[in-house]
């Protein structure tokens, strides 16, 4: 027992070292990923803000370009155009630009009286003709207009709320005929037409935007300049609808047409990607820790069993009082043990090597994103195979050490079979195998539920393993006067008579000559648990014709 305790202590020290190193590696990896992600997010945010500023500026230029045509038309026409002539010209210009946005153009004389006013579809839509600008503007605004109308240059004013129910941005220029100032043009475009192209940019859904003109904020529905709002609509993408701090914004400021524009951009949620990456890394780390811990526990348990066996051998050799038949049985037990550990070592090596390779690729970031699903599938298959082997090993060890408990109860076979088929559904689906149940619903059996579940699960699992793709595995349960019958049938390759004779011998079954490898431990457990229920197990199989395992349990009065 001293060597066992030393070995156990050594294993726990090794586990502690592995967990410590693993924690350091995970911390370094997560920290590096966070730094890289923050840098990428910053660059992406700067790029998005720059694209938004460029699109905003280009939208303003398109508006000014339209009005440049109007200014040239008014200046060089032989006679000053009538309202209808100017209306037709503007619509011609807009058709060429494929612009369907709200737009109002007015010609106002030097006394600030509206002479022309029209939109895309209607002349004098707001009944402004004949009215004075003084009715709508305060003295400060009129003073700015007086300055703007003195030349033919473009003068743009800050966005404001219009009585028409939208946010407009005015553009003025003086109209000169024969070197005489006769009035000015006031053109107002719906500012939504300036902002919408920004929201239509690719990846704009990741960001929120803040817009300012001369320190006054506005969105697509409202100018927050203190003017009266003539509608109740709200812009769902207004930046104040989001809980984002001021430090999260980057800004671009530029001056165009005597106005200062400022555009801010921020992420709607900067932490979502980081959270997902952290969860993935820590999730895999926890799974690896659990697997390593469980494997170490099983290894310690193996050493304990081995030491107990050696003590028994030493005791037998020391007493030298046992009969020859006992010595012969002991030799067989030792041979079986050696064969068992050889098989287990071989079967565990494959899944553990696969898991180790995948983890190594993950740590080196060598996984191709397109292959992630395939690699994860292989990892799941390897883990499931190792888990099944260790579960059978636990059951086998409990049986052979006499520690397995007998807990009889009334078991409903239909429910038990459904639970097993559900557990093995993914394994069957991976080979396109259909799981079919043919069960009389009212069949009940008195026995140990865990043992019966292990029996059915091992038989169905083996049937899936040795079945061809696109085939069926059928579980049939029937009751007669004397017996309850459970059959598991597959459409695999079947067995020869010689193979059938070795099915229930550890390491000697035909599984070693098939494409699928295994220890044969599952069938040994099946036979043991069936015997404990005073039942029998038989096999019907022909090479190339599939296999049917049938278990018969006696019906108790």
Instruction: Output 287 or 414, whichever has higher pLDDT.
Output: 414
Cα–Cα nearest to 416, from 484, 483, 348: 484
Same domain as 167, residue 229: yes
Same domain as 434, residue 346: no
In a domain, 355, yes or no: yes
Asked whether 441 and 414 are in contact (CB, 8 A), the reply is yes
Residue in the structure block whose two tokens are 């475009």: 189
Strands 472-479, 207-213: pairing kind: unpaired
Asked whether 252 and 49 are in contact (CB, 8 A), the reply is yes
Range list of H helices, 83-174: 83-97, 139-148
Letter string b/e over residues 449-470, b meaning 16 or more CB atoms within 10 A of that residue's CB: bebbbbbbbbbbbbbbbbbeee
Tokens of residue 81, six digits? 């155009």
Distance CA 448, CA 431 (A): 31
In a domain, 170, yes or no: yes
For the residues 407-425, what does the mean pLDDT come to? 91
Question: Which range is most confident: 110-124, 129-143, 220-234?
Answer: 110-124
131-143: pLDDT as tens digits: 998 887 778 778 8
Look at residue 516 and tell me whether its pLDDT is greater than 80: no
As a dihedral over the C-alpha atoms of residue 383, residue 385, residue 390, residue 392, rounded to 10 degrees, the angle is 150
CA distances from 290 to 15, 88, 284, 355 (A): 11, 78, 10, 13
Same domain as 260, residue 137: yes
Same domain as 454, residue 362: no
User: What's the confidence (pLDDT) of residue 515?
Assistant: 36
Look at residue 6 and tell me whether its pLDDT is greater than 60: no
Look at residue 275 and tell me whether its pLDDT is greater than 80: no
As a dihedral over the C-alpha atoms of residue 239, residue 241, residue 244, residue 248, rounded to 10 degrees, the angle is -10
Coil vs helix vs strand at 217: strand
User: What's the confidence (pLDDT) of residue 514?
Assistant: 39
Tokens of residue 542, six digits? 């022909």
Domain range for 279: 274-401
User: What's the confidence (pLDDT) of residue 215?
Assistant: 83
Instruction: Find the range with the poorest average confidence among 39-43, 183-187, 411-415, 445-449.
Output: 39-43
Coil vs helix vs strand at 116: strand
User: Model's pTM, two decimal places?
Assistant: 0.44
- For residue 208, name the pLDDT band (cuts at 50, 70, 90): confident
Rg of the chain over Cα atoms, rounded to whole angstroms, equals 42
Distance CA 454, CA 8 (A): 30
Coil vs helix vs strand at 528: helix
Coil vs helix vs strand at 487: strand
Asked whether 355 and 291 are in contact (CB, 8 A), the reply is yes
Residue finishing a domain among 366, 401, 436: 401
In a domain, 11, yes or no: no
Look at residue 343 and tell me whether its pLDDT is greater than 60: no
In a domain, 548, yes or no: yes
In a domain, 473, yes or no: yes
User: What's the confidence (pLDDT) of residue 455?
Assistant: 92
Coil vs helix vs strand at 259: strand
Same domain as 353, residue 207: no
Distance CA 455, CA 395 (A): 11
Distance CA 5, CA 304 (A): 9
Q: In DSSP terms, which residues pair with 472 in a beta bridge?
A: 434
CB atoms within 10 A of CB 89: 16
- For residue 270, name the pLDDT band (cuts at 50, 70, 90): low
User: What's the confidence (pLDDT) of residue 366?
Assistant: 61
Distance CA 524, CA 161 (A): 85
Look at residue 46 and tell me whether its pLDDT is greater than 80: yes
Residue finishing a domain among 250, 267, 284: 267
Distance CA 416, CA 447 (A): 12
Distance CA 557, CA 554 (A): 10
Same domain as 112, residue 195: yes
Distance CA 397, CA 405 (A): 13
Same domain as 95, residue 204: yes
In a domain, 133, yes or no: yes
In a domain, 178, yes or no: yes
Same domain as 213, residue 356: no
In a domain, 309, yes or no: yes
User: What's the confidence (pLDDT) of residue 460?
Assistant: 93
Look at residue 473 and tell me whether its pLDDT is greater than 90: yes
Coil vs helix vs strand at 485: strand
Same domain as 209, residue 88: yes
Look at residue 279 and tell me whether its pLDDT is greater than 50: yes
Asked whether 423 and 460 are in contact (CB, 8 A), the reply is no
User: What's the confidence (pLDDT) of residue 475?
Assistant: 95
Question: Which range is most confident: 92-96, 346-350, 520-524?
Answer: 520-524
Distance CA 35, CA 253 (A): 28
Distance CA 296, CA 547 (A): 37
- For residue 113, name the pLDDT band (cuts at 50, 70, 90): very high
Same domain as 475, residue 358: no
3-state helix, strand, coil in the chain (%, to 5): 55, 20, 25
Report the domain count for the chain.
Answer: 3
Same domain as 367, residue 255: no
Same domain as 182, residue 126: yes
Letter string b/e over residues 483-518, b meaning 16 or more CB atoms within 10 A of that residue's CB: bbebbbbbbbbbbeeebbebbbebbebbbeeeeeeb
Mean pLDDT of the chain: 79
Strands 114-118, 103-109: pairing kind: antiparallel
Residue finishing a domain among 267, 301, 318: 267
Q: What is the three-state SS of 482-540?
A: CEEEEEEEECCCCCCHHHHHCCCCCCCCHHHHCCCCCCCHHHHHHHHHHHHCCCEEEEE
């Amino acid at each position: 027992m001293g060597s066992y305790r030393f070995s156990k202590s050594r294993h726990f020290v090794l586990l502690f070292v592995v967990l410590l190193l693993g924690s350091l590696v995970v911390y370094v990896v997560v920290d590096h990923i966070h730094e890289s992600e923050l840098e990428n997010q910053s660059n992406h945010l700067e790029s998005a803000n720059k694209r938004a500023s460029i699109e905003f500026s280009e939208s303003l230029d398109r508006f000014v370009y339209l009005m440049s045509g109007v200014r040239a038309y008014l200046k060089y026409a032989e006679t000053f155009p009538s309202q209808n002539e100017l209306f037709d010209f503007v619509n011609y210009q807009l058709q060429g630009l494929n612009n369907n946005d709200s737009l109002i153009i007015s010609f106002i004389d030097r006394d600030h009286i509206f002479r022309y006013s029209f939109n895309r579809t209607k002349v004098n839509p707001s009944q402004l003709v004949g009215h004075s600008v003084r009715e709508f503007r305060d003295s400060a605004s009129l003073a700015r207009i007086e300055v703007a109308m003195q030349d033919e240059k473009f003068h743009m004013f800050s966005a404001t709320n219009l009585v028409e129910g939208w946010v407009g941005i005015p553009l003025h220029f003086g109209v000169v005929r024969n070197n005489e100032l006769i009035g000015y043009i006031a053109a107002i475009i719906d500012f939504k037409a300036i902002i919408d192209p920004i929201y239509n940019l690719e990846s704009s859904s990741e960001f929120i935007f803040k817009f300012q003109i001369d320190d006054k904020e506005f969105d697509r529905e409202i100018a927050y300049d203190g003017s009266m709002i003539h509608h109740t609509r709200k812009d769902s993408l207004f930046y104040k609808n989001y809980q984002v701090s001021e430090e999260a914004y980057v800004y671009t400021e530029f001056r165009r047409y005597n106005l200062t524009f400022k555009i801010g951009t921020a992420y709607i949620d900067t932490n979502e990607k980081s959270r997902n990456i952290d969860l993935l890394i820590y999730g895999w780390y926890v799974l690896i820790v659990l697997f390593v811990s469980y494997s170490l526990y099983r290894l310690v348990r193996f050493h304990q069993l081995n030491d107990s066996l050696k003590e028994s051998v030493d005791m037998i050799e020391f007493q030298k009082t046992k009969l020859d038949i006992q010595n012969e049985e002991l030799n067989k037990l030792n041979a079986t043990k050696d064969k068992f550990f050889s098989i287990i070592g071989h079967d565990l090596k494959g899944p553990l090597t696969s898991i180790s390779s995948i983890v190594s690729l993950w740590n080196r970031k060598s996984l191709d994103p397109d292959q992630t699903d395939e690699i994860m599938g292989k990892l799941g298959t390897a883990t499931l195979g190792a888990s099944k082997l260790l579960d059978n090993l636990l059951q086998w060890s409990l049986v052979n050490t006499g520690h397995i408990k007998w807990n009889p109860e009334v078991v409903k076979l239909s429910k038990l079979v459904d639970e097993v088929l559900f557990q093995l559904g993914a394994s069957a689906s991976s080979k396109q195998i259909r799981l079919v149940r043919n069960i009389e619903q009212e069949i009940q059996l008195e026995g140990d539920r865990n043992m019966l579940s292990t029996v059915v699960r091992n038989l169905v699992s083996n049937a899936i393993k040795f079945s061809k793709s696109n085939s069926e595995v059928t579980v049939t349960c029937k009751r007669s006067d004397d017996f309850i019958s459970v059959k598991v049938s597959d459409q695999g390759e079947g067995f020869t008579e010689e193979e059938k004779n070795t099915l229930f011998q550890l390491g000697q079954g035909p599984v070693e000559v098939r494409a699928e490898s295994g220890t044969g431990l599952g069938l040994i457990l099946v036979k043991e648990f069936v015997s404990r229920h005073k039942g029998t197990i038989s096999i019907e199989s022909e090479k190339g014709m599939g296999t049917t395992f049938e278990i018969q349990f006696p019906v108790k009065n």
